[in-house]
Structure 1
Amino acid sequence: MTEHFPSKIGLSQQFSCSYLPEQQEQLLVILDHNCYTPERFEGLLELGFRRSGDQIYRPHCPKCNACQSLRLPTYDFMQSKSQKRKWNKLNNEFSIVESHEERPNYYPLYEKYISLRHQDGSMFPPNHLQYESFLFCRWLPITFIELWHFDKLVAVAVTDTMPNSLSAIYTFFDPDYESYSLGTVMILAQIDYAQRAKKQYLYLGYQIDSCKKMKYKSHYKPAQRFINDIWVNSDTNTTKKTAKK
């Protein structure tokens, strides 16, 4: 299903962009409470929207259009040689578990991750209120994809769950396991879960080509980008799907 553009929308104030410091960021925010359901939100994902906490938004910056929604058609995805190596490196010492409830050991892992990996970011220093207001949602089911090394939790991928798709919200992991490329591994785990759950798409958020922190998203193929209100195949630039306005 493709959603019509909502009629009740707010516009945020301008503020400094956390990805491109020279730019000013501004957001469209959904004000229609009827849109806050998994089914309606899935349609809004098709229009380039995303959620943070309970709020649905989309960039609407005055002088920049660098943010492009990116999604993977999960049935078409095949691991690259590099991704296979990283996936197979987990061997029998690691296990992946899906949970639908937050566990008490999530926050200490999140706190360690932010404190050691993102001291220059907007989420530093971490605190529990920020963690809850950013990651969790009262109107949408969330799947927590966990990676365990024996009996130790080493990574969590927070993943929104809709009828026909998943949306990757945030992944945090133990920096002591950095050699295992856990950022890559957890996206592969989300793709694997989407395939097993028969979800057509995995949304990866916004791709910003000029931001080094975002380059990892271009390594998953085939992918589609939302450009000028049309989904196009990222590699061939051919139209995949037109959004209704």
Structure 2
Amino acid sequence: MEHHPPAFCQPGFELYSKYQQNWHHCGTPVTESDYLDFLIHSPVKTEMLYYYDQERLLAIGWIDILPKMLSSVYFIFDPDEATRRLGIFSLLYEIEYASRLEKPWLYLGYWVEDSPKMSYKSDFQPAELLFNKKWVPFHQHPELLASQDVSN
């Protein structure tokens, strides 16, 4: 595992392309410009976390380092290694890294309840959801959603 500032590297771009094509079934090939704009050019302090098995690049995670928290921005992995659950491994590392940096929060980004690709986020508790501009305990979300008028 290695920490690096955000920068373009060909193996990272190739892994990103493979991930987009095979995991998200992107219809059009990603470009270097897309990759740079999405993950390399950052307005805040960002680190890229490179995960290796020996010399082979398996995954990359992007985290923003903010005054009171780490934000888990994006994670890619070699789809051929999906059974290794590298995203879970990375999340566990990010929890430990936030603790080492004395950050009280690790922000996991959006959570979409019906998305199987995001379901892992609900496995990590305690957690909070931003609901009507307030952070509330995760376990309250079914009651909060039930109380909303979704007919509009």
Change (3 A) 1:138 1:212: closer
Runs of 4+ in 1 over 3 A off after TM superposition: none
Matched ranges for 1:231-242 at <5 A: 231-236=135-140
Compute the TM-score of the two structures, normalised by the length of structure 1: 0.53
Q: Does 1:100 align with 2:5?
A: yes
**Unmatched runs of 5 consecutive residues or more in structure 2:** 142-152
Structure 1 residue 101: deviation in Å? 3.7
Q: Is the 8 A contact 1:145 1:189 kept in 2?
A: no
Q: Which has the larger radius of gyration?
A: 1
Compute the TM-score of the two structures, normalised by the length of structure 2: 0.83
Q: Does 1:228 align with 2:121?
A: no
Give the total of aligned pairs: 140
Structure 1 residue 115: deviation in Å? 1.5
Q: Distance in 2 between matches of 1:202 and 1:153?
A: 25
CA offsets, 1:82-106, max 9 Å, x none? xxxxxxxxxxxxxx22222425121
Identical positions, percent: 31
**Aligned residue among 74, 94, 101 for 1:197:** 101
**Unmatched runs of 5 consecutive residues or more in structure 1:** 1-95, 238-245
**Aligned residue among 102, 116, 123 for 2:22:** 116
Letter in 2 for 1:222: P
| Bigger share in helix | 2
Letter in 1 for 2:7: E
| Bigger share in strand | 1
Matched ranges for 1:21-170 at <5 A: 96-102=1-7, 104=9, 105-120=11-26, 124-170=28-74
What secondary structure is seen at the aligned counterpart in 1 of 2:19? helix
RMSD over aligned Cα, in angstroms?
Answer: 1.8
